[in-house]
Structure formats: structure tokens, C-alpha cells
Amino acid sequence: MRIRFILLILTVISFGACKSPEARRPVTQNSGSFIDQSIARNKELVAKEEAVIEKMIQQDSIKEYIASANGFWYYYNKQTTDSLNIKTPEFGDVVKFDYTINDLNGNVIYDEGELPTKRYAIDKEELFGGLREGLKLMKEGEVVTFIFPSHKAFGYYGDKNRIGTNIPIITKVSLNSITTENDLNTNSNSNN
């Protein structure tokens, strides 16, 4: 009798062991509310910054501001009128430029000469988004002042030096030279 009972228990256990594993359910489920809240906060921040910038522009009747399709504003300090100099930089072209950075109140963050002349290959190197797009609008010899909301400047992280979290900036850029990608390729081939 005892042997039958043991066999019955072993049979039940062996059939129970053949059961396929069940998927475990998460203890808590996120509804995406954190992401939704983050999106709402960012939209509110952008709207506030743009309102401040637009008010600043309306109060300045001297300069002729242009709203870019990329979400920033700019005006020319020095515009090239030379009809032969109509080229703007394109993908792969190398530009050399100098720039300064101020906050929206005009306080200097990086002054002239404080930042070294920058050499930048268009869309091939890292540069904050607004300036990357702004350089593509310029011609050699021009000086342009850009007003960037924080999401087009250094965003949430800042520059980890003088520019803090979510700071809109004013950047004055002097485009010194444009070297086309073809010129670069020609020079490198002639050196070989």
C-alpha cells in the first residue's frame, strides 16, 4: 500500500513538472506618465523662452531680425553685398569662425578672444545645434548675431563650465573662411 502511495505521488509530481513555464507579470506597470510630464514641461519651457525672446525683439526697433526655419532668430551685423561671394557652407565644407556668447540680458559669458578661432567641418563634427544650422546661413566675411533658445544652444546639460541648465544665449559669429570639400580633396591629392 505504501509503495502505491509513493508511486502515485511520483506520478503526480512528474506530470506537474511537465507544465510549461508561465510568463511573469511585472509587479508595477508604468503608464508613460513620466514621459508625458517631461514633454509637457519641455513645451512649457520652450514657450516661455520664445515669449521672452520675441518680447526682446519687439523692443529692439533698430535691428532687422529674421526668424529661421530652425527655431532661432538672427540679424546681420555685417552682411556681404559682393555678388561674387554668394556661397554658403555645405556638408563637408570646413569653416573657420570666431564667436562670443552672452545671455539674454547682454551679460558676457564668453567674450571676444576668450574662445579660440574654431575650425569646423559642416555636419561632420560636434557643435551645438543652433550654431551648426546658423553657420549654413552665412557667407564668408559676414558677422551675424544669433539668438538661440536653450534647446538650440546647450540644453539641459549646459556647457559644463559657464553656461548652466536651460540657458538661452546670444551668439555673435564672424565667419572668417569657407573651404569647400572639393578644395580640401584637391589639396590632399596634390600633397600625395
pLDDT at 114: 93
Cell of 159: 556647457
- Residue 70: enclosing H or E segment and its boundaries? none
CB 146 within 8 A of CB 134: yes
Beta strand 143-148 with 118-121 is: unpaired
pLDDT at 53: 96
**Which of 136, 137, 132, 144 shows the shortest CA–CA distance to 63?**
144
How far lies 21's CA from each of 5, 15, 16, 135, in Å?
Answer: 27, 13, 11, 59
- Enter the pTM of the model: 0.78
d(CA 164, CA 155): 9
- Residue 175: enclosing H or E segment and its boundaries? strand 169-179
| Residue 69 CB neighbour total at 10 angstroms | 6
d(CA 151, CA 167): 9
Q: Which residue has the higher pLDDT, 81 or 74?
A: 74
pLDDT at 125: 92
Q: CB neighbours of 146 closer than 8 A, spacing ≥ 6?
A: 72, 73, 74, 130, 131, 134, 170, 171, 172, 173
pLDDT band at 16 (very low <50, low <70, confident <90, very high): low
pLDDT at 3: 79
| 146-180 residue pLDDT tens | 999 999 999 999 999 999 999 999 999 999 999 98
pLDDT at 86: 80
d(CA 69, CA 22): 53
Residues 65-190, CATH architecture = Roll (3.10)
| 19-48 residue pLDDT tens | 666 777 766 656 668 888 888 999 999 999
| 96-143 residue pLDDT tens | 999 999 999 999 999 998 999 999 999 999 999 999 999 999 999 999
